[in-house]
Structure 1
Amino acid sequence: MKKALVVGINDYAPIGSGGPDLNGCVNDARDMANTLVICGFDPAKIKILTNQNATRANILNYLKTLVNSSVKGDSLVFYYSGHGTRVANIGADLEIDGLDEAICPHDYASAGVIRDDDFKAVLSKLKAGVNLEVIFDCCHSGTGTRKMDLGLDLELSYEAPRFIPPMLEDEFYITYASEMQSSRSSKKTASMTKALVPVAGMNHTLWAASKDNQVSMEGNMSGQIRGYFTYHFCKILRATNGNIVRKTLDKQIAIALAGMGAAQVNQTESITTEFSQKIFS
């Protein structure tokens, strides 16, 4: 069975204008859901959470249900379009243990972000023989920009980063991360290489809109505000009805992003054998 959880957040708390709002994420979620149907997903098996429904609790609860209710042979998708950030991972001994990438739910300012570690706890329950594609169209790093004019003037030149600046305590550690001995140093090195990143023991495939030192952008695509990565991801899947191997999809997205001059390079992580297999299989 094919099942999906699709999340898109334009409206960050407070509801309405006032938060660090975006403009293309709900459009992305709609396109992703429709594209999944074309790729053989039953609409009744696609759960969509947008804006104020996409709280931290809802996202985690629906993701847990998606993972825990699956059985061998199922194909799952978790898609997120919205803001990302990075946070320092503080161990129980108050030592800095690397940097966590995180996504920002609608209520992140009050409920907190959803970290790498939160996802690992849920995904560790994934049963053998279940396929899972995790797709993030958000920024995961503070390196690219401090720009927060996620503005209201939607001209043809409109372009905005899907990025929340880290809080001071996190920004401080990020600044000195290269000088600090981190348990993640090997992963950090891998993340700087070109797109396909083999990760031993990984039980899912991660599709990221940008490398962890880049920003993921949204802008005007044929008159509609869209995430650049999701726009091309869906366009290629629709053209192939999802009948495409992962490394080919990864390469075609990279070529499309480069062709439009986007300042981001998509990155795909999985175990090596998955790259040569069809997506959703």
Structure 2
Amino acid sequence: MKKALIVGINDYAPIGYGGPDLNGCVNDARDMANTLVICGFSPAKIKILTNQNATRANILNYLKSMISTSVKGDSLVFYYSGHGTRVANIGSDLELDGLDEAICPHDYANNGVIRDDDFKTVLSKLKAGVNMEVIFDCCYSGTGTRKLDLGLEADLLNETARYIPPMLEDEFYLTYASEMEVSKSSKKSTVLTKALVPVAGMNHTLWAAAKDNQVSMEGNISGQIRGYFTYHFCKILRATNGSIVRKTLDKQVAIALAAMGAAQINQTESITAEFSQKIFT
């Protein structure tokens, strides 16, 4: 059975004008849902959460439910389009253990972000023999946000980065991360930015819209605001009815992003064997 949870957030709390809103994420969610139907997913098995429904609790609860009810042979998709950020991971000893990537639910300002550690905990429950694609169209690094004044031509001035700047304490650690390596004799690992999940032993495939030192952009494509990564990802899936191996999909998305002059390069992470297999299998 094929099941999906799709999240798209344009409207951040407070509801209506006032939050750090985006414009293309609900369009992305709609395109992803329709594309998955073309790829063999039943509409009844696709759960969509947008705007005020995409709370931290709802996202985690629906994701946990989808994973816990899956059985060997199922194919799952979790898709997120919205803001991303970075937060410091402070241990119980009040020492810095690392820097976590995070996504920003509709209510993140009051109820917090969803960290990569939260996802690791949920994904650790994935049963053997269950395929899962995790797809993120958001930013995971602050380094690229300082380069947004690009002097763009008028038709590209609607570009927006899907990124929430870190709070001061988090930005401080992020700025000095490369200088804060812990000695090899220490039990703590090197303090560097982490991938969403480790590649070694991964039980799913991660599709990221940009590398961890880049921002993920949205802008006007044929009169509609879209995430650049999602637009091309879905376009290629529809053209192939989802019958495409992962490394080919990854390459074709990268070529399409480069052709449009996007300042981001998609990144796909999984165990080696998965790259030569078809997506959703």
Q: Under TM normalisation by the shorter chain, which class is it?
A: over 0.9
Pick closer, same or farther for the CA change 1:121–1:141 going to 2, 3 Å.
same
Taking the aligned partners of 1:213 and 1:201, their CA distance within structure 2 comes to 24
AA partner of residue 256 (structure 1): A
AA partner of residue 233 (structure 2): F
Residue 65 (structure 1) shift? 0.3
Per the alignment, residue 76 of structure 1 pairs with 76
Unmatched 5+ residue regions in structure 2? Answer: 183-188
Taking the aligned partners of 2:95 and 2:156, their CA distance within structure 1 comes to 46
TM alignment of 1:229-240, pairs within 5 A: 229-240=229-240
Pick closer, same or farther for the CA change 1:266–1:97 going to 2, 3 Å.
same
| Cα contact 1:146–1:165 (8 A) shared by 2 | no
Per the alignment, residue 218 of structure 2 pairs with 218
Residue 157 (structure 1) shift? 3.1
TM alignment of 1:58-207, pairs within 5 A: 58-145=58-145, 157-181=157-181, 183=189, 199-207=199-207
Residue 184 (structure 1) shift? 5.4
**Is structure 2 residue 42 aligned with structure 1 residue 3?**
no
Residue 199 (structure 1) shift? 1.6
| Cα contact 2:237–2:244 (8 A) shared by 1 | yes
Query: How many pairs were matched up?
Result: 270
Per the alignment, residue 249 of structure 2 pairs with 249
| Cα contact 1:157–1:220 (8 A) shared by 2 | no
Taking the aligned partners of 1:4 and 1:184, their CA distance within structure 2 comes to 35
Q: Secondary structure at the match of 1:144?
A: helix
Q: Percent identity?
A: 86
Residue 155 (structure 1) shift? 6.2
Given the two structures, how large is their TM-score scaled by the length of structure 2?
0.92
Given the two structures, how large is their TM-score scaled by the length of structure 1?
0.92
Pick closer, same or farther for the CA change 1:264–1:160 going to 2, 3 Å.
same
Residue 198 (structure 1) shift? 8.7
Residue 186 (structure 1) shift? 8.0
Query: Over aligned residue pairs, what C-alpha RMSD do you find?
Result: 1.9
Taking the aligned partners of 1:91 and 1:52, their CA distance within structure 2 comes to 31
